[in-house]
C-alpha cells in the first residue's frame, strides 16, 4: 500500500460536523466530478473513499449514489469506482458551491463553504482525496502535489494552503496545474492539517532518521576530509625532512626543531594536536599545538631554501 493511500484511508475515517462535511464534499467534487446528461459522476480507486462519499450524500442530502466498477486504465491495476449522482443534482451542486442559482459554473466556491479554519481543513481534505499524492518520506525527495484542472481553483487552493503558512507553489502542466510543497517540515504540517495523525507520526519518524543519517554522513565526510588533510600535511613534512637529511643540513636547525623533526618521523600519521600532546607526555616539557607548528614551519623554510639553491 502506498503512503498516499494510507493517508487517504486514514482521513476517510475522520468524523465531521455538517459544515465540514459540506466543505469536504465541495473540495472533492470541484476537483473530481464530471457533469454528463443531468448526471454527476465521481471517480476513485479507494473503497474507503467510496464509503465516505456515499455516507455523506445520504446523511446530508438523503440520496443514494449509484456505484459502478471497472478496471482502471492506468498501471495500478486497481478497480475504479464510478459514483453516480442522479437525483437532486442541481440542488446539491448549488449547495456545494459548484454552480450558482442559474446553474452557471462557479470558478471558486462561495465564502460560506470555507468560512472557518475547520471548514478550510475539510475542503483541503476533499481536494486531497480527489487529486492529491505525497511521496513516501523514505524516498530520495520530499514532495506533495495536487493536480488541479481549473486555473482559478488552483490559485484558490494555493491561498487556502498558505493560510497555514505552507509555502505552496503552482506549476502549469499540460492538462492543468500542479500545486506542490517540497519542504519536509511543511509537508508534515500539511498532513497534520488533513488530520492524518498516524501518517504524521510515520513521516516525522522517517524524517528524523534521515536527518540523523545525513548528519552522521556529513560528520564522517568532515572527519575523513580532516584525516586526509592531516595525512597530506604530514607527508609534506616528511618529504621536507628527507630533503634536509639528504643534504646533511640538520645541524642548521636548533635543538627544539630537531626534536620536532624526530617526533614527526616517529609518528608520521599523528595530527599536529596529537603530536604536540605526545611530545609533552614523553619529554615532560609542555608544548602547545602553536609551538609545534612554529618548529615545523622552520623545517619547511629550511627545506625550501635547500630546494631553491639546487
Q: How large a percentage of the chain has pLDDT more than 90?
A: 55
- Give yes or no for a contact between 216 and 224, defined as CB atoms under 8 angstroms apart: no
C-alpha R_g of the chain: 35
pLDDT, greater one: 72 or 174: 174
The CATH topology of domain 3-195 is: Endonuclease I-creI (3.10.28)
Q: Work out the mean pLDDT of the chain and round it to a whole number.
A: 89
- Give yes or no for a contact between 43 and 80, defined as CB atoms under 8 angstroms apart: yes
For the beta carbon of residue 16, count every other beta carbon within 10 angstroms: 20
How does pLDDT run across 61-113, given as a tens digit for each residue? 999 999 998 876 655 567 889 999 999 999 999 999 998 898 899 999 999 99
pLDDT confidence band for 232 (50 / 70 / 90)? confident
Q: Is the pLDDT of residue 230 over 70?
A: yes
Q: How far apart are CA 260 and CA 67, in angstroms?
A: 87
- Residue 70 has what pLDDT? 80
Q: Is the pLDDT of residue 223 over 80?
A: no
Q: How far apart are CA 179 and CA 167, in angstroms?
A: 10
Q: Pick from 185, 173, 178: which is nearest to 157 by CA?
A: 178
Q: Is the pLDDT of residue 233 over 90?
A: no
Q: Please return the burial class of 154, using the count of CB atoms within 10 Å of its CB with bins 0-12, 13-18 and 19+.
A: buried
- Give yes or no for a contact between 25 and 53, defined as CB atoms under 8 angstroms apart: yes
Q: pTM higher than 0.75 for the full model?
A: no
- Residue 212 has what pLDDT? 79
- Give yes or no for a contact between 28 and 57, defined as CB atoms under 8 angstroms apart: no
Q: What is the 3-state secondary structure (H, E, C) of the chain?
A: CCHHHHHHHHHCCCCCCHHHHHHHHHHHHCCCCEEECCEEEEEECCHHHHHHHHHHHHHHHCCCCEEEEEECCCCCCCEEEEEEECCCHHHHHHHCCCECCCCCECCCCCHHHHCCHHHHHHHHHHHHHHHEEECCCCCCCCCEEEEECCHHHHHHHHHHHHHCCCCCEEEEECCEEEEEECCHHHHHHHHHHHCCHHHHHHHHHHHHHHHHHHHHHHHHHHHHHHHHHHHHHHHHHHHHHHHHHHCCCHHHCCHHHHHHHHHHHHCCCCCHHHHHHHHHHHHCCCCCHHHHHHHHHHHHHHHHHHHHHC
Q: Is the pLDDT of residue 224 over 80?
A: no
- Residue 74 has what pLDDT? 58
How does pLDDT run across 274-289, given as a tens digit for each residue? 889 989 988 888 999 8
Q: How far apart are CA 165 and CA 156, in angstroms?
A: 14
pLDDT confidence band for 179 (50 / 70 / 90)? very high
pLDDT (average), residues 12-23: 94
- Residue 76 has what pLDDT? 57
- Give yes or no for a contact between 253 and 261, defined as CB atoms under 8 angstroms apart: yes
Give the residue range(s) of CATH 3.10.28.10 domains in the chain. 3-195
Amino acid at each position: 500500500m502506498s503512503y498516499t493511500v494510507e493517508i487517504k484511508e486514514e482521513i476517510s475515517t475522520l468524523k465531521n460536523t455538517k459544515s465540514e462535511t459540506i466543505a469536504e464534499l465541495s473540495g472533492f467534487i470541484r476537483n473530481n466530478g464530471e457533469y454528463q446528461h443531468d448526471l454527476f459522476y465521481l471517480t476513485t480507486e479507494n473503497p474507503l473513499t467510496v464509503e465516505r462519499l456515499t455516507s455523506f450524500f445520504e446523511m446530508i442530502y438523503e440520496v443514494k449514489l449509484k456505484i459502478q466498477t471497472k478496471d482502471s486504465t492506468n498501471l495500478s491495476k486497481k478497480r475504479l469506482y464510478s459514483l453516480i449522482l442522479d437525483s437532486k443534482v442541481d440542488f446539491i451542486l448549488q449547495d456545494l458551491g459548484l454552480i450558482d442559482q442559474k446553474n452557471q459554473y462557479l470558478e471558486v466556491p462561495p465564502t460560506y463553504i470555507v468560512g472557518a479554519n475547520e471548514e478550510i481543513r475539510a475542503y483541503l481534505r476533499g481536494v486531497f482525496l480527489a487529486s492529491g499524492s505525497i511521496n513516501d518520506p523514505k524516498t530520495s525527495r520530499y514532495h506533495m502535489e495536487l493536480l488541479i484542472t481549473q486555473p482559478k481553483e488552483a490559485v484558490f487552493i494555493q491561498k487556502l494552503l498558505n493560510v497555514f503558512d505552507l509555502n505552496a507553489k503552482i506549476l502549469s502542466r499540460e492538462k492543468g496545474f500542479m500545486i506542490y510543497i517540497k519542504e519536509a517540515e511543511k509537508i508534515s504540517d500539511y498532513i497534520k492539517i488533513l488530520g492524518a495523525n498516524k501518517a504524521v507520526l510515520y513521516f516525522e519518524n522517517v524524517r528524523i532518521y534521515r536527518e540523523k543519517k545525513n548528519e552522521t554522513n556529513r560528520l564522517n565526510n568532515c572527519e575523513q576530509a580532516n584525516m586526509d588533510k592531516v595525512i597530506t600535511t604530514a607527508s609534506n613534512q616528511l618529504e621536507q625532512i628527507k630533503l634536509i637529511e639528504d643534504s646533511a643540513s640538520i645541524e642548521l636547525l636548533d635543538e627544539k626543531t630537531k626534536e620536532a623533526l624526530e617526533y614527526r618521523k616517529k609518528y608520521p600519521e599523528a595530527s599536529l594536536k596529537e603530536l604536540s600532546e605526545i611530545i609533552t607526555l614523553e619529554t615532560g616539557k609542555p608544548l602547545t599545538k602553536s609551538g609545534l607548528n612554529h618548529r615545523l614551519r622552520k623545517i619547511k623554510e629550511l627545506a625550501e631554501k635547500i630546494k631553491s639553491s639546487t
